[in-house]
Amino acid sequence: MSQRSPSSNDLIRAAFIPLLDCSVLVVAAEKGFAAREGLDLQLTRELSWANVRDRVSIGHFDVAHMLAPLPIASTIGVGHWTVPMVTPLSMGQGGHAFTVSTGLWRGLAAAGAPENGDPVLIGQALRQVIRARERTGQPPLTFGMVFPFSCHNYDLRYWLAASGIHPDRDVRLVVVPPPFTVDSLTAGHIDAFCVGEPWNSLAVAAGVGRIATTKAALWRGGPDKVLGMQAEWAEANPDRLGRLLRALHHAGMWCDDPGNHAELAHLMAGPRFLDCPPEVARRGLSGNLLLGEAQAHAIPDFIMFADRAANFPWTSHALWMFSQMVRWGQVEFTPQTLAAAQSTFRPDLYRAALAGLDVAMPKANAKVEGALAEPTPVASSNGKLMLGPDGFFDGQRFDPDDIERYIASFEIRADGAGGL
């Protein structure tokens, strides 16, 4: 391995939002993985997803830690001017959770919500609570999520709708930036939020919230954050991009190793990144979350960075997000928007960059999401790849070849009649 001097390293400017799932970028920069690829990976902490998107769009940053649907929205040109973007690597799977105020939790518990994070039963309890509020003329519950184009938005909506709750009619969904989530919950401006770690654990630690359920329980192995960049930059810098992807892959494997979690928690908890107690950062990394005070639960696959192809940019993930954009009225389903969504995720770039390494890569670019009930060996580059279990909590499957029928199968959607 050739170690070049930092001065001769090629600069890559990257933006991130302080969340546990930017660990891979931080580790690549701080633990020498980028330098080993001859890169000077310069990290800038940003304040809003809108800033990240705009500053990547005008070239202030080469790449960024992004909400997985953000590059798709930008390529389609919705909510923003059209800037073709690509995602050649996922920053991992899972990592966020749904936290309710202690007051709402009391209501849910009284309505039969279990303490194990089971989305089906908690969804039923939530429906009862919402109905009771409606009967007694109380205002609708207000839930925070982080951005219109985020998995938090789509996962939360998916879960509410599957529980018979219309996310646009039976509750109010508002955007709350991650650093404000705990304060907003404390002040009573919102009744619950869906956000990445460490904010759920910080709400629990502050005694103001309880983690009701997690992304891993709603859709195990589902996407959350990605590496996003302008398509133009990826096109113009194939060598630099390849080196960056290798650095991020090695960093991701390092992050997945439980033996490194203490060090990683310490690094991420520092003032430049999460600025929180290391033991709180560690909860998300280990998946041993305190759902309530002194109620530890081990959440399988709560967050995965690279192992078991967790950083592979599945086209089927892109298309699932696209299906939800259509379902909730953000995007119209046309051959053009479909093609734009599909072209944003670039497994070909991932394969090209990692080809020389002993990385277990799936042979397929897409899969039927929710089809693996247990760990299953799949066709891969080195014959050593196990995938799953994955799947949606309601047992539904998403076939990326049959998107229109999938969308139409939901009774609750933007133009549908369902709900309470």
Residues that bind another protein (CB under 8 A): 47-51, 54-55, 57-58, 60, 78-82, 146-148, 168, 173-177, 179-180, 187, 189, 330
Q: Which is nearer to another protein, 166 or 249 (CB)?
A: 166
Helices (H), 13-118: 23-30, 33-36, 49-57, 70-76, 102-110
Nearest distance in Å: CB 244, another protein: 24
Nearest distance in Å: CB 276, another protein: 17
SS3 227: strand
Residue with token string 């996922």? 90
Q: How far apart are CA 228 and CA 363, in angstroms?
A: 23
Q: Which is nearer to another protein, 28 or 340 (CB)?
A: 340
Q: Count CB atoms within 10 A of the CB of residue 154.
A: 27
Nearest distance in Å: CB 168, another protein: 7
Q: Which is nearer to another protein, 81 or 405 (CB)?
A: 81
Q: Which is nearer to another protein, 189 or 272 (CB)?
A: 189
Query: Is 49:146 a contact under the CB 8 Å cutoff?
Result: yes
Q: Which is nearer to another protein, 20 or 372 (CB)?
A: 20
Structure tokens at 87: 């995602």
Q: Which is nearer to another protein, 101 or 330 (CB)?
A: 330
77: DSSP letter: T
CA–centroid distance for 71 within its chain:
13
Nearest distance in Å: CB 207, another protein: 21
Nearest distance in Å: CB 71, another protein: 15
Report the b/e string of 36-67 with b at 16+ CB within 10 A: bbbbbbebeebeebebbbbbbbeeebbbbbbb
Long-range contacts of 234-241 (CB under 8 A, 24+ apart): 234/86, 234/88, 234/346, 234/349, 237/62, 238/352, 240/10, 240/12, 240/39, 241/88, 241/349, 241/353
Nearest distance in Å: CB 225, another protein: 15
Nearest to 151 by CA among 106, 87, 210: 87
Nearest distance in Å: CB 79, another protein: 4
SS3 349: helix
Amino acid code (one letter) for 310: A
Helix (H) or strand (E) holding 161: helix 151-162
Q: How far apart are CA 362 and CA 294, in angstroms?
A: 40
Q: Which is nearer to another protein, 182 or 309 (CB)?
A: 182
Q: Count CB atoms within 10 A of the CB of residue 343.
A: 16
Q: Which is nearer to another protein, 49 or 302 (CB)?
A: 49
Q: Which is nearer to another protein, 323 or 330 (CB)?
A: 330
Nearest distance in Å: CB 175, another protein: 4
Nearest distance in Å: CB 404, another protein: 22
